[in-house]
Structure 1
């Protein structure tokens, strides 16, 4: 589905990452975020019991688990992210370019929770190892 414009490869951020096979302009929709829609209770259970970190927040009652999505689960965190997530007019979550992205660039988002800083490996970390700048 994404083979023409996205690929998974080794990441300097963490393990594997999601990379652009084409360029994107700021605001371009990259892909719709698809996966299993789960409620908040199931989200908490998967995070706690399964250490599932491949879950996107949609609203207070709906979350999208992308752990079975062969591409989206590889998008890494960066404090200097180039992608963001939003809801379109039809209520679908979309991944879009928050800034210009060139062919070969790793796609990153800001995970949006403070615990990430303890393990953050990005160059521009806002709060390296939990210590305020």
Structure 2
């Protein structure tokens, strides 16, 4: 008994309007450009309110008014959010700039070297032009508590380590670059320095970064003000060579 042959159903509108493939296979034809008429035919119908749904002209007017009020409130809320975002952006722009500069400093370090200094021992010197406002170097060392720093400072004095490489981050934390650090620890004090130290936060971690206050030329020594407190019984003349008179250092204090 043979199989019953079902008649071929008539093609649908989409199939009837489909382009004919010259090769007989759609896979070999690629994509066809869609005409405007085809796009309009396939466009979903826009939902419209049906007449006779029980709402009169007054009801429609009230609904339109309510919708207008809601849209107005939403617009005001969006405007307030935009203003708050702009104010927040103004507050964090400086921090974002610091982060960008810090990342650039990590990828492209300034050309620096150390050499004998006329101020004290060895100092840090620039090998390239550094514009004012640029990051010069990060002050790297061990991040320790203030109590640990106090004990280490006394131990360093007993060991004959006269130079202090302890740099205060805040009231609780100190960076100790005495035994673990970089060239940043060789920056000497100057009462009229060409750099300044700033504390910035990167990914929740506080960093000490040295910024150029003025343009620094190749061969010029990099200096910053230690901001040592003046103690009459424990001060020594500063040898920075600046024009300020009566400048002194207190060697046993932490720079801040």
Which stretches in structure 1 are left out of the alignment for 5+ residues?
none
- Partner SS, residue 223 of structure 2: strand
**Relative contact order (alpha carbons < 8 A, sep ≥ 6): 1 or 2 greater?**
1
Which one has the bigger helix percentage? 2
Aligned to 2:193: 81
More moved, 92-101 vs 113-122: 113-122
**C-alpha distance 117-97 of structure 1, shift in aligned 2 (>3 A):** farther
- Report the Cα offset of residue 117 of structure 1: 5.1
RMSD across aligned positions (CA): 2.4
Whole-angstrom distance in 1 between the partners of 2:149 and 2:141: 13
1:53 to 164, 167, 173: 164
Which one has the bigger strand percentage? 1
- Report the Cα offset of residue 88 of structure 1: 2.1
Aligned to 1:108: 223
Does 2:143 correspond to 1:37? Answer: yes
Which stretches in structure 2 are left out of the alignment for 5+ residues?
1-105, 158-162, 250-256
**C-alpha distance 98-4 of structure 1, shift in aligned 2 (>3 A):** closer
- Segments of 4+ moved more than 4 angstroms: 1-4
State whether residues 66 and 73 of structure 1, in contact with CA within 8 Å, keep that contact through their aligned partners in structure 2: yes
Aligned to 1:98: 213
Q: TM-score, normalised by structure 2?
A: 0.46
Aligned to 1:6: 112
